[in-house]
A and B are shown apart, each in its own frame.
Chain A
Amino acid sequence: MTPVITIKTPFTTEAAEKLRIGQRVLLNGKIYTGRDAAHKKLVELLENGEELPIELKDQIIYYVGPSPAKPDNVIGSAGPTTSGRMDIYAPKLMAQGLKGMIGKGKRTPEVIKAMKQTKAVYFAAVGGAAALISKRIKSCKIVAYPELGPEAIRELEVEDFPVIVVNDSLGGDLYEEGLKIYGAK
């Protein structure tokens, strides 16, 4: 198995360019959360020429809608949601400097192309390992759209948050590679 790479946010172009598909990464530092409802609002602001509630340059967005936190817990269960629903919005955010996305499932060719152009990376977290993943989240605060409930934008502080590089800045795709290796010939 490939060695694990540790990355501290902010996630710069330089760090993103070094990553390759299949690499296991432990993320540390601040990341944001957002699902389709929040993405829609962000893109509407951009289209109207308005300022975003969060700065996207060198940031990572985790596609997640956590379950409510129990008393004494930082956050509820927090596994990735299907990334494809964010595909129509993602290139517009990458154009603003967004460097990383965490989710699960396939991205469209347009998103993969935008990643290549802007030197961004798409990571997968283990879908459904939500109780396990939440242990790596050390703090959580809502920074925009509280009215969206589980879909609000949160700022998370993560420690050794485990992800795998699925699409790198060269246009590589781990899902395609996996099929080539393990699919019946």
Chain B
Amino acid sequence: MCQEANYILGQDVIDAFKNAYETEQSVTGKDILQQLIENAQIAKNESVPMCQDTGFSVFFIEMGQDVHIEGGSLEDAINDGVRKGYQEGYLRKSIVGHPLERQNTGDNTPAVIHIRVVPGDKLKITIAPKGGGSENMSAIKMLKPAQGVEGVKDFVVETVKEAGPNPCPPIIVGVGIGGTFEKAALLAKEALLRPVGEPSSDSYAADLEQELLELVNKLGIGPQGLGGKTTALAVHVNTHPAHIASLPVAVNINCHASRHKEIEF
């Protein structure tokens, strides 16, 4: 799973590159999009990582409440898988064991694991390797409810503008609105799991996604920040009920290498 996620870029992203190639006005921007399509082909054909930053291994687990796991802990099993996958797949080990002491763990563990218990007897595992460059440009803010949707739009556009060329545009922007501080961040990350450009099932969020995409692409950052109309391939918005006093907004930026792989048992 770790290997496939890093070698094979989803068709959704490739299609988004091709669409952007048609509409991009910058010649350099077009050239970059072409290179990204070619890069994805090489990575797939030769089974090599599309990007050298093979990321933090972020897992989303949906565990049916009737599932019983035997023979050890689920988290240990996941970390064993990461260790094996990153070693055997020639993937870069990018994790340091302590954020300040900064000694590489040498095997890309531990993973970040989010587990949700759901009805049923299935186990669904999604891996979304996340690069550092785009993660570093992400941001969260606790807005005042009075700032409303305009405040949200300003914050999203400001975050993308500030990120500029750093997160490897064209980017995918995950936006989480509502919930608590940590819930908003998680909503933003989960929004990135949706196929690129698939609108939210909620019509309010879907309209906001469209508007935000237009606003972000007016910034002119363009592919790799060298100028152009394709700054983002998509904006995905997830919302959650909020406290009467709060309007949390999180913006999680993903580079164009939007990688994820799902498996269900």
How many residue-residue contacts, CB under 8 A, span A and B? 156
Q: Could you say which of A104, A124, A134, A150 contacts B48, with CB atoms under 8 Å apart?
A: A134
Nearest neighbor of A132 in chain B, beta-carbon distance = B39
Whether A128 lies near B257 (C-beta < 8 A) is: yes
A181 to B229, CA, bound (A): 10
Whether A105 lies near B166 (C-beta < 8 A) is: yes
Query: Which of A106, A129, A180 has the largest number of chain B CB atoms within 10 A?
Result: A129
The yes or no answer to B26 lying at the interface (CB within 8 A) is yes
Whether B94 lies near A150 (C-beta < 8 A) is: yes
Known: A105-B165, A106-B166, A178-B225. A126 touches B49 (CB 8 A): no
Whether B255 lies near A127 (C-beta < 8 A) is: yes
Q: Which residues A150-185 have CB closer than 8 A to chain B?
A: 150, 164, 166, 174-175, 177-184
The yes or no answer to A7 lying at the interface (CB within 8 A) is no
The yes or no answer to A100 lying at the interface (CB within 8 A) is no
Whether A183 lies near B218 (C-beta < 8 A) is: yes
Cβ–Cβ < 8 Å partners of B47 in chain A: 70
Whether B133 lies near A132 (C-beta < 8 A) is: no
Q: B interface, how many residues as a size bin?
A: 35 or more
The yes or no answer to B175 lying at the interface (CB within 8 A) is no
Cβ–Cβ < 8 Å partners of A164 in chain B: 28, 226
Whether A129 lies near B35 (C-beta < 8 A) is: yes
Whether B52 lies near A104 (C-beta < 8 A) is: no
A1 to B31, CA, bound (A): 10
A47 to B263, CA, bound (A): 52
A177 to B164, CA, bound (A): 13
The yes or no answer to A111 lying at the interface (CB within 8 A) is no
Whether B227 lies near A179 (C-beta < 8 A) is: yes
Whether A178 lies near B90 (C-beta < 8 A) is: no
Q: How many residues of A contact B (CB 8 A)?
A: 45
| CB of A84, distance to nearest CB on chain B (Å) | 7
Nearest neighbor of A71 in chain B, beta-carbon distance = B90
| CB of A165, distance to nearest CB on chain B (Å) | 10
Cβ–Cβ < 8 Å partners of B65 in chain A: none
Cβ–Cβ < 8 Å partners of A135 in chain B: 42
A132 to B45, CA, bound (A): 12
Q: Could you say which of A1, A37, A76, A106 contacts B92, with CB atoms under 8 Å apart?
A: A76
A104 to B222, CA, bound (A): 13
Known: A66-B92, A82-B133. A128 touches B256 (CB 8 A): yes
Whether B227 lies near A178 (C-beta < 8 A) is: yes
Query: Which of A73, A127, A180 has the largest number of chain B CB atoms within 10 A?
Result: A127
Cβ–Cβ < 8 Å partners of B224 in chain A: 104, 124, 126-127
Whether A129 lies near B90 (C-beta < 8 A) is: no
The yes or no answer to A28 lying at the interface (CB within 8 A) is no
The yes or no answer to A46 lying at the interface (CB within 8 A) is no
Q: Which residues B81-122 have CB closer than 8 A to chain A?
A: 90-94, 102, 104, 106
Whether A76 lies near B48 (C-beta < 8 A) is: yes
The yes or no answer to B27 lying at the interface (CB within 8 A) is yes
Q: Which residues A99-139 have CB closer than 8 A to chain B?
A: 104-106, 124, 126-132, 134-135
Cβ–Cβ < 8 Å partners of A105 in chain B: 133, 164-166, 225
Known: A128-B51, A177-B227, A182-B25. A84 touches B166 (CB 8 A): yes
The yes or no answer to B54 lying at the interface (CB within 8 A) is yes
Whether B222 lies near A128 (C-beta < 8 A) is: no
A150 to B218, CA, bound (A): 37
15 A-B pairs with C-beta separation under 8 A: A65-B94, A67-B54, A67-B91, A70-B48, A76-B92, A77-B51, A82-B132, A82-B133, A128-B36, A128-B39, A128-B51, A150-B94, A178-B226, A178-B227, A184-B218
Apart from the given pairs A77-B51, A104-B166, A105-B165, 11 other A-B contacts in the complex at a CB distance below 8 Å: A68-B92, A70-B47, A76-B90, A124-B225, A128-B39, A128-B255, A132-B38, A150-B52, A178-B228, A182-B227, A183-B219
Please provide the 6 A-B residue pairs with the shortest distance between their CB atoms, ordered closest to farther.
Answer: A178-B227, A183-B220, A182-B220, A127-B168, A105-B166, A184-B218
